[in-house]
Chain A
Amino acid sequence: DQQVKQNSPSLSVQEGRISILNCDYTNSMFDYFLWYKKYPAEGPTFLISISSIKDKNEDGRFTVFLNKSAKHLSLHIVPSQPGDSAVYFCAASPPGTYKYIFGTGTRLKVLA
């Protein structure tokens, strides 16, 4: 069973517009969430994280929102740039362990 779900396998956005990537999780005990970006033939690159005690965290063009009641998080990229084209993974960390559980990824394509 998939504890972390990214239901949109792909997303296309025009350059300069907002990209919104979504992630749902099933375990209300998860206490730490992260987003990674992955280019082909490279490992995942850490983007941004959020603790379950917060509902928003911002870093430059990237903002992560956490809705604990809906068990949903989203990553907003504003403005989107062609270099943002990559596969984005959300990950969650169960309490008491430091392994991450990843979603299946969303491929973002930013069109120039």
Chain B
Amino acid sequence: AQTVTQSQPEMSVQEAETVTLSCTYDTSESDYYLFWYKQPPSRQMILVIRQEAYKQQNATENRFSVNFQKAAKSFSLKISDSQLGDAAMYFCAYRRGISNFGNEKLTFGTGTRLTIIP
């Protein structure tokens, strides 16, 4: 079974600074996807960024980027120029690859609560 571990229950960062959230995972599969989701106080789960395991290039979405280390099974999220609106719970999630047809199940980590200090 796949597991996802987020070892930082809480993090804080000064506005405009950079913060990195950690995530490690365990799987025996070679085809999979990794995601970072953001859940603000409204509880709406919002996709931040996605990484396909077969891609060596790290995904980037504006101020959000990942450091994907496949051999180490590590998938960290870097938020640059932190903004007040970035305050939320951040969840790392794993999903088996498309080759495993019919498995849309996401396995989530326990989350990291990010606080932005004005």
Bind each other = no
Residues of B within 8 A of A (CB): none
Residues of A within 8 A of B (CB): none
